[in-house]
Amino acid sequence: MRLKEYPTIILDTIPKLYERQINVFITHLYGIEAQVERLPKKFCKMYTTQPLANQLLEYLGSRGANISSEDFHIVPEGKPFSIRLSDGKRLEIMLCAGNVLANSLMLLIRRLRGGRLLYYYSAVQQDDLNYLMGNTTFQEWIALGTEELLLNLQAAHQPFDHIDFEQIAEQISKFFKENDKVPVIEVPQFGYELLIRKLAETSALFGHIKLLDSFQNSYRCLTSDLRYFHRSGYTISLAVNHKSSINIHNSEISYPLSKLKWSPVPNRINLIQICSLLRPLHISGIVGYHEKGNVTPVPEFLKNFKCSNAIVSKTQVIQESVESKLCPTKRRRDYENEPILFTKSKKLAYVDDDDDIN
Protein backbone atom coordinates (compact mmCIF):
# COMPACT_ATOMS: atom_id res chain seq x y z
CA MET A 1 0.00 0.00 0.00
CA ARG A 2 1.22 3.49 -0.85
CA LEU A 3 0.33 6.52 1.31
CA LYS A 4 -1.53 9.11 -0.76
CA GLU A 5 0.03 12.14 0.95
CA TYR A 6 3.50 10.58 0.99
CA PRO A 7 3.82 8.48 -2.21
CA THR A 8 7.41 7.47 -1.49
CA ILE A 9 6.24 5.53 1.58
CA ILE A 10 5.10 1.98 0.77
CA LEU A 11 3.63 -0.34 3.40
CA ASP A 12 4.04 -4.14 3.41
CA THR A 13 4.63 -4.36 -0.33
CA ILE A 14 7.94 -5.30 -1.95
CA PRO A 15 8.26 -3.34 -5.23
CA LYS A 16 9.26 -5.26 -8.34
CA LEU A 17 11.41 -2.38 -9.57
CA TYR A 18 14.11 -0.63 -7.58
CA GLU A 19 13.61 3.07 -6.84
CA ARG A 20 16.15 4.81 -4.68
CA GLN A 21 13.69 7.29 -3.13
CA ILE A 22 11.21 4.63 -2.04
CA ASN A 23 10.87 3.82 1.68
CA VAL A 24 9.35 0.37 2.29
CA PHE A 25 8.04 -0.44 5.76
CA ILE A 26 7.53 -4.11 6.68
CA THR A 27 5.16 -4.62 9.63
CA HIS A 28 4.42 -8.33 9.08
CA LEU A 29 5.20 -11.16 6.67
CA TYR A 30 1.82 -12.88 6.37
CA GLY A 31 1.22 -13.64 2.68
CA ILE A 32 4.42 -11.98 1.54
CA GLU A 33 5.55 -15.11 -0.32
CA ALA A 34 2.92 -14.33 -2.98
CA GLN A 35 4.67 -11.01 -3.63
CA VAL A 36 8.03 -12.60 -4.34
CA GLU A 37 7.05 -15.44 -6.65
CA ARG A 38 9.15 -13.47 -9.13
CA LEU A 39 12.12 -12.08 -7.29
CA PRO A 40 13.19 -8.44 -7.84
CA LYS A 41 16.68 -7.98 -9.26
CA LYS A 42 17.33 -5.39 -6.57
CA PHE A 43 15.35 -4.66 -3.41
CA CYS A 44 14.31 -1.21 -2.25
CA LYS A 45 15.47 -0.24 1.21
CA MET A 46 13.19 -1.88 3.81
CA TYR A 47 12.54 -0.50 7.29
CA THR A 48 11.65 -3.17 9.84
CA THR A 49 12.74 -4.76 13.11
CA GLN A 50 15.55 -7.31 13.43
CA PRO A 51 13.33 -10.40 13.95
CA LEU A 52 11.26 -9.77 10.81
CA ALA A 53 14.40 -8.93 8.83
CA ASN A 54 15.94 -12.23 9.95
CA GLN A 55 12.87 -14.18 8.85
CA LEU A 56 12.70 -12.49 5.46
CA LEU A 57 16.44 -12.82 4.87
CA GLU A 58 16.35 -16.54 5.61
CA TYR A 59 13.35 -17.14 3.36
CA LEU A 60 14.56 -15.05 0.42
CA GLY A 61 18.07 -16.47 0.80
CA SER A 62 16.66 -19.97 0.42
CA ARG A 63 14.97 -18.76 -2.78
CA GLY A 64 18.28 -17.51 -4.19
CA ALA A 65 17.34 -13.83 -4.01
CA ASN A 66 19.92 -11.10 -4.44
CA ILE A 67 19.48 -9.75 -0.93
CA SER A 68 21.63 -9.05 2.13
CA SER A 69 21.41 -7.28 5.47
CA GLU A 70 22.43 -4.08 3.64
CA ASP A 71 18.96 -3.98 2.07
CA PHE A 72 17.37 -3.43 5.49
CA HIS A 73 17.22 -0.44 7.76
CA ILE A 74 16.84 -2.05 11.19
CA VAL A 75 14.88 0.03 13.68
CA PRO A 76 14.19 -0.69 17.37
CA GLU A 77 10.67 -1.77 18.27
CA GLY A 78 8.74 0.77 20.33
CA LYS A 79 11.25 3.60 19.88
CA PRO A 80 10.76 6.65 17.60
CA PHE A 81 13.08 7.49 14.72
CA SER A 82 12.95 10.11 11.98
CA ILE A 83 13.26 9.88 8.19
CA ARG A 84 13.77 12.47 5.47
CA LEU A 85 11.75 11.95 2.31
CA SER A 86 12.97 12.70 -1.19
CA ASP A 87 11.05 16.01 -1.22
CA GLY A 88 12.87 17.14 1.93
CA LYS A 89 9.99 16.59 4.34
CA ARG A 90 10.82 14.90 7.62
CA LEU A 91 8.58 12.61 9.63
CA GLU A 92 8.83 10.85 12.97
CA ILE A 93 7.94 7.15 12.91
CA MET A 94 7.57 4.32 15.40
CA LEU A 95 7.04 0.58 14.90
CA CYS A 96 5.26 -1.09 17.82
CA ALA A 97 4.63 -4.80 18.39
CA GLY A 98 1.16 -6.14 19.10
CA ASN A 99 2.26 -9.45 20.62
CA VAL A 100 5.10 -11.05 22.55
CA LEU A 101 6.78 -12.48 19.41
CA ALA A 102 6.86 -9.00 17.82
CA ASN A 103 5.95 -10.38 14.38
CA SER A 104 2.85 -8.18 14.01
CA LEU A 105 3.83 -4.53 14.11
CA MET A 106 1.84 -1.32 13.99
CA LEU A 107 3.18 1.76 12.22
CA LEU A 108 2.74 5.21 13.78
CA ILE A 109 3.60 8.35 11.79
CA ARG A 110 3.57 11.95 12.98
CA ARG A 111 5.20 15.31 12.29
CA LEU A 112 8.51 16.13 13.98
CA ARG A 113 6.87 18.75 16.15
CA GLY A 114 4.58 16.12 17.63
CA GLY A 115 0.83 16.52 17.99
CA ARG A 116 -1.85 14.20 16.67
CA LEU A 117 -0.65 11.22 14.63
CA LEU A 118 -0.90 11.53 10.87
CA TYR A 119 -1.33 7.79 10.38
CA TYR A 120 -1.80 4.70 12.50
CA TYR A 121 -1.48 1.53 10.42
CA SER A 122 -2.33 -2.00 11.55
CA ALA A 123 -2.60 -4.78 8.95
CA VAL A 124 -2.78 -7.97 11.01
CA GLN A 125 -4.25 -9.32 14.23
CA GLN A 126 -2.88 -7.62 17.36
CA ASP A 127 -3.56 -10.22 20.04
CA ASP A 128 -1.88 -8.52 22.99
CA LEU A 129 -2.42 -4.77 22.82
CA ASN A 130 -1.82 -4.64 26.58
CA TYR A 131 1.77 -5.55 25.67
CA LEU A 132 2.20 -1.89 24.70
CA MET A 133 0.60 -0.29 27.73
CA GLY A 134 3.87 -0.25 29.65
CA ASN A 135 5.48 1.89 26.94
CA THR A 136 5.02 5.52 28.04
CA THR A 137 6.24 6.75 24.65
CA PHE A 138 3.45 4.82 22.92
CA GLN A 139 0.90 6.25 25.35
CA GLU A 140 2.09 9.80 24.69
CA TRP A 141 2.01 9.28 20.91
CA ILE A 142 -1.60 8.04 20.82
CA ALA A 143 -2.94 10.44 23.48
CA LEU A 144 -4.18 12.94 20.88
CA GLY A 145 -5.51 10.26 18.54
CA THR A 146 -4.79 10.00 14.82
CA GLU A 147 -5.94 11.77 11.69
CA GLU A 148 -6.23 8.54 9.73
CA LEU A 149 -6.49 4.96 10.95
CA LEU A 150 -5.59 2.35 8.34
CA LEU A 151 -7.00 -1.12 9.07
CA ASN A 152 -7.37 -4.51 7.42
CA LEU A 153 -11.16 -4.83 7.15
CA GLN A 154 -11.36 -8.21 5.39
CA ALA A 155 -13.02 -9.90 8.38
CA ALA A 156 -14.83 -6.86 9.80
CA HIS A 157 -18.28 -8.17 8.87
CA GLN A 158 -17.67 -11.73 10.06
CA PRO A 159 -19.17 -12.75 13.43
CA PHE A 160 -16.73 -12.93 16.33
CA ASP A 161 -15.92 -16.41 17.59
CA HIS A 162 -14.00 -16.49 20.86
CA ILE A 163 -11.03 -18.89 20.79
CA ASP A 164 -10.37 -21.03 23.86
CA PHE A 165 -6.83 -22.31 23.30
CA GLU A 166 -7.05 -24.73 26.23
CA GLN A 167 -10.14 -26.30 24.67
CA ILE A 168 -8.48 -26.55 21.25
CA ALA A 169 -5.38 -28.11 22.81
CA GLU A 170 -7.53 -30.73 24.54
CA GLN A 171 -9.23 -31.53 21.22
CA ILE A 172 -5.84 -32.05 19.56
CA SER A 173 -4.70 -34.33 22.41
CA LYS A 174 -7.92 -36.33 22.08
CA PHE A 175 -7.42 -36.59 18.29
CA PHE A 176 -3.89 -37.91 18.87
CA LYS A 177 -5.07 -40.59 21.30
CA GLU A 178 -7.98 -41.70 19.12
CA ASN A 179 -5.87 -42.08 15.97
CA ASP A 180 -2.65 -43.27 17.60
CA LYS A 181 -0.81 -41.06 15.11
CA VAL A 182 0.91 -37.72 15.58
CA PRO A 183 -1.26 -34.87 14.20
CA VAL A 184 0.65 -32.59 11.82
CA ILE A 185 -0.47 -29.02 11.21
CA GLU A 186 0.52 -27.42 7.91
CA VAL A 187 0.84 -23.65 8.27
CA PRO A 188 1.62 -20.93 5.71
CA GLN A 189 5.19 -19.62 5.48
CA PHE A 190 4.55 -16.68 7.83
CA GLY A 191 1.98 -15.32 10.24
CA TYR A 192 0.96 -18.32 12.35
CA GLU A 193 3.86 -18.40 14.82
CA LEU A 194 1.83 -16.83 17.63
CA LEU A 195 -0.95 -19.40 17.22
CA ILE A 196 1.52 -22.25 17.73
CA ARG A 197 3.06 -20.42 20.69
CA LYS A 198 -0.36 -20.04 22.34
CA LEU A 199 -1.09 -23.74 21.88
CA ALA A 200 2.30 -24.59 23.41
CA GLU A 201 1.44 -22.46 26.45
CA THR A 202 -1.62 -24.59 27.26
CA SER A 203 -1.52 -27.21 30.00
CA ALA A 204 -2.53 -29.96 27.53
CA LEU A 205 0.21 -29.35 24.95
CA PHE A 206 3.06 -27.76 26.92
CA GLY A 207 6.20 -29.73 26.04
CA HIS A 208 4.33 -31.91 23.52
CA ILE A 209 4.62 -29.83 20.31
CA LYS A 210 7.49 -30.56 17.95
CA LEU A 211 8.54 -27.85 15.54
CA LEU A 212 9.81 -29.43 12.34
CA ASP A 213 12.86 -28.15 10.50
CA SER A 214 11.59 -25.38 8.24
CA PHE A 215 9.11 -23.93 10.72
CA GLN A 216 11.55 -24.20 13.64
CA ASN A 217 14.26 -22.32 11.74
CA SER A 218 11.82 -19.55 10.90
CA TYR A 219 10.47 -19.42 14.46
CA ARG A 220 14.00 -19.10 15.86
CA CYS A 221 14.37 -15.88 13.89
CA LEU A 222 11.74 -14.37 16.18
CA THR A 223 12.94 -15.77 19.50
CA SER A 224 15.40 -18.28 20.92
CA ASP A 225 12.92 -19.26 23.64
CA LEU A 226 11.73 -22.80 22.78
CA ARG A 227 10.98 -23.91 26.35
CA TYR A 228 7.26 -24.33 25.64
CA PHE A 229 7.88 -26.85 22.88
CA HIS A 230 8.95 -30.50 22.84
CA ARG A 231 10.95 -31.55 25.86
CA SER A 232 12.91 -34.69 26.52
CA GLY A 233 10.68 -37.40 27.96
CA TYR A 234 7.47 -35.82 26.67
CA THR A 235 5.31 -37.61 24.09
CA ILE A 236 5.00 -35.73 20.79
CA SER A 237 1.27 -34.96 20.51
CA LEU A 238 1.51 -32.42 17.69
CA ALA A 239 4.00 -31.52 14.94
CA VAL A 240 4.11 -28.27 12.98
CA ASN A 241 5.74 -27.38 9.68
CA HIS A 242 5.29 -25.15 6.66
CA LYS A 243 2.98 -26.30 3.86
CA SER A 244 5.86 -26.11 1.41
CA SER A 245 7.99 -28.49 3.52
CA ILE A 246 5.38 -30.97 4.69
CA ASN A 247 5.93 -34.70 4.27
CA ILE A 248 3.39 -36.87 6.13
CA HIS A 249 4.80 -40.21 7.32
CA ASN A 250 2.86 -43.39 8.20
CA SER A 251 3.07 -42.54 11.90
CA GLU A 252 1.54 -39.08 11.29
CA ILE A 253 -1.85 -37.73 10.28
CA SER A 254 -2.80 -34.31 8.93
CA TYR A 255 -4.76 -32.01 11.25
CA PRO A 256 -6.82 -29.26 9.51
CA LEU A 257 -5.61 -25.74 10.22
CA SER A 258 -9.21 -24.52 10.00
CA LYS A 259 -10.05 -26.35 13.25
CA LEU A 260 -7.79 -23.95 15.13
CA LYS A 261 -10.09 -21.02 14.16
CA TRP A 262 -7.33 -18.40 14.52
CA SER A 263 -6.11 -16.24 11.63
CA PRO A 264 -3.65 -13.34 11.23
CA VAL A 265 -6.50 -11.34 9.68
CA PRO A 266 -7.91 -9.00 12.38
CA ASN A 267 -11.29 -9.99 13.78
CA ARG A 268 -14.05 -7.49 14.57
CA ILE A 269 -13.19 -7.32 18.29
CA ASN A 270 -9.56 -6.50 17.53
CA LEU A 271 -10.70 -3.76 15.14
CA ILE A 272 -13.02 -2.33 17.81
CA GLN A 273 -10.19 -2.34 20.36
CA ILE A 274 -7.89 -0.36 18.07
CA CYS A 275 -10.60 2.13 17.04
CA SER A 276 -11.63 2.77 20.64
CA LEU A 277 -7.98 3.24 21.62
CA LEU A 278 -7.21 5.72 18.82
CA ARG A 279 -10.47 7.66 18.36
CA PRO A 280 -9.49 8.50 14.75
CA LEU A 281 -10.76 11.37 12.63
CA HIS A 282 -10.93 9.04 9.61
CA ILE A 283 -10.89 5.26 9.15
CA SER A 284 -9.79 3.65 5.90
CA GLY A 285 -9.45 0.10 4.69
CA ILE A 286 -6.02 -1.10 3.69
CA VAL A 287 -5.51 -1.73 -0.01
CA GLY A 288 -3.82 -5.13 -0.22
CA TYR A 289 -1.05 -6.18 -2.58
CA HIS A 290 -2.42 -6.13 -6.16
CA GLU A 291 -5.93 -6.12 -4.72
CA LYS A 292 -8.69 -6.00 -7.30
CA GLY A 293 -12.13 -4.45 -6.87
CA ASN A 294 -13.37 -2.13 -4.17
CA VAL A 295 -11.79 -1.86 -0.74
CA THR A 296 -13.99 -3.24 2.05
CA PRO A 297 -16.19 -0.36 3.29
CA VAL A 298 -15.83 0.74 6.89
CA PRO A 299 -18.71 -0.82 8.90
CA GLU A 300 -20.99 1.41 10.92
CA PHE A 301 -19.97 -0.11 14.26
CA LEU A 302 -16.42 1.16 13.66
CA LYS A 303 -17.51 4.58 12.43
CA ASN A 304 -19.07 5.12 15.86
CA PHE A 305 -15.54 5.37 17.28
CA LYS A 306 -14.55 8.27 15.01
CA CYS A 307 -13.94 11.49 16.87
CA SER A 308 -14.08 14.91 15.23
CA ASN A 309 -12.37 16.51 18.21
CA ALA A 310 -10.04 13.82 19.55
CA ILE A 311 -8.18 16.24 21.81
CA VAL A 312 -6.59 15.34 25.11
CA SER A 313 -5.05 18.07 27.26
CA LYS A 314 -1.30 18.20 27.72
CA THR A 315 -1.87 18.10 31.49
CA GLN A 316 -3.61 14.72 31.18
CA VAL A 317 -0.81 13.32 28.99
CA ILE A 318 1.87 14.47 31.44
CA GLN A 319 -0.09 13.15 34.43
CA GLU A 320 -0.53 9.72 32.81
CA SER A 321 3.16 9.64 31.94
CA VAL A 322 4.19 10.46 35.53
CA GLU A 323 1.81 7.86 36.97
CA SER A 324 3.14 5.25 34.57
CA LYS A 325 6.72 5.98 35.63
CA LEU A 326 5.80 5.77 39.31
CA CYS A 327 4.08 2.41 38.76
CA PRO A 328 5.73 1.00 35.63
CA THR A 329 3.97 -1.89 33.92
CA LYS A 330 6.26 -4.85 33.27
CA ARG A 331 6.37 -5.48 29.53
CA ARG A 332 5.96 -9.04 28.42
CA ARG A 333 9.16 -10.58 27.14
CA ASP A 334 10.73 -14.01 26.96
CA TYR A 335 12.20 -14.86 30.36
CA GLU A 336 13.80 -18.26 29.92
CA ASN A 337 14.56 -18.76 33.61
CA GLU A 338 11.16 -17.88 34.97
CA PRO A 339 8.89 -20.75 36.14
CA ILE A 340 5.96 -21.63 33.91
CA LEU A 341 2.63 -21.59 35.72
CA PHE A 342 -0.69 -22.82 34.35
CA THR A 343 -3.93 -21.32 35.60
CA LYS A 344 -7.43 -22.27 34.58
CA SER A 345 -8.98 -19.28 32.84
CA LYS A 346 -12.51 -18.18 33.65
CA LYS A 347 -15.12 -18.59 30.94
CA LEU A 348 -16.27 -15.27 29.56
CA ALA A 349 -19.59 -14.56 27.92
CA TYR A 350 -19.28 -12.79 24.56
CA VAL A 351 -22.19 -10.98 22.99
CA ASP A 352 -22.72 -9.76 19.47
CA ASP A 353 -22.68 -5.98 19.41
CA ASP A 354 -24.67 -5.67 16.18
CA ASP A 355 -27.96 -4.95 17.95
CA ASP A 356 -26.48 -2.18 20.05
CA ILE A 357 -24.24 -0.25 17.69
CA ASN A 358 -25.26 -1.01 14.14
Secondary structure of the chain as H, E, C letters: CECCCCCCEEECCCCCCCCCCCEEECCCCCCHHHCCCCCCCCCCCEEECHHHHHHHHHHHHHCCCCCCHHHEEECCCCCCEEEECCCCCEEEEEEEECCCCCCCEEEEEEECCCCCEEEEEECCCCCCHHHHCCCHHHHHHHCCCEEEEEECCCCCCCCCCCCCHHHHHHHHHHHHHHHCCEEEEEECCCCCHHHHHHHHCCCCCCCCEEECHHHHHHHHCCCCCCCCCCCCCCCCCEEEEEHHHCCCCCCEEEECHHHHCCCCCCCHHHHHHHHHHHCCCEEEECCCCCCCCCCCCCCHHHHCCCCCCCCCCHHHHHHHHHHHHHCCCCCCCCCCCCCCCCCCCCCCCCCCCHHHHC
**What distance in Å separates the CA atoms of residue 203 and residue 165, rounded to the nearest whole number?**
10
| Nearest 10 degrees: Cα torsion 93, 95, 98, 101 | -170
**Letter string b/e over residues 127-136, b meaning 16 or more CB atoms within 10 A of that residue's CB:** bebebbeebb
**What distance in Å separates the CA atoms of residue 3 and residue 229, rounded to the nearest whole number?**
40
**pLDDT tens for the chain, residues 1 to 358:** 889 899 999 999 999 999 999 999 999 999 999 999 999 999 999 999 999 999 999 999 999 999 999 999 999 999 999 999 988 999 999 999 999 999 999 999 999 988 999 999 999 999 888 878 888 999 999 999 999 999 999 999 899 889 999 999 999 999 999 999 999 999 999 999 999 999 999 999 999 999 998 999 999 999 999 999 999 999 999 999 998 777 788 889 999 999 999 999 999 999 999 999 999 999 999 976 555 556 778 999 999 998 763 444 443 443 444 444 444 444 444 545 566 665 555 555 545 555 444 4
**What distance in Å separates the CA atoms of residue 311 and residue 298, rounded to the nearest whole number?**
23
**What distance in Å separates the CA atoms of residue 194 and residue 200, rounded to the nearest whole number?**
10
Are 99 and 28 in contact by the 8 Å Cβ rule? The answer is no
CA 338 to chain centre: 25
CA 64 to chain centre: 26
How much is the pTM?
Answer: 0.85
Q: For domain 9-157+265-326, which architecture applies?
A: 4-Layer Sandwich (3.60)
**What distance in Å separates the CA atoms of residue 356 and residue 67, rounded to the nearest whole number?**
51
Domain limits, the chain: 9-157+265-326, 165-260
Are 358 and 300 in contact by the 8 Å Cβ rule? The answer is yes
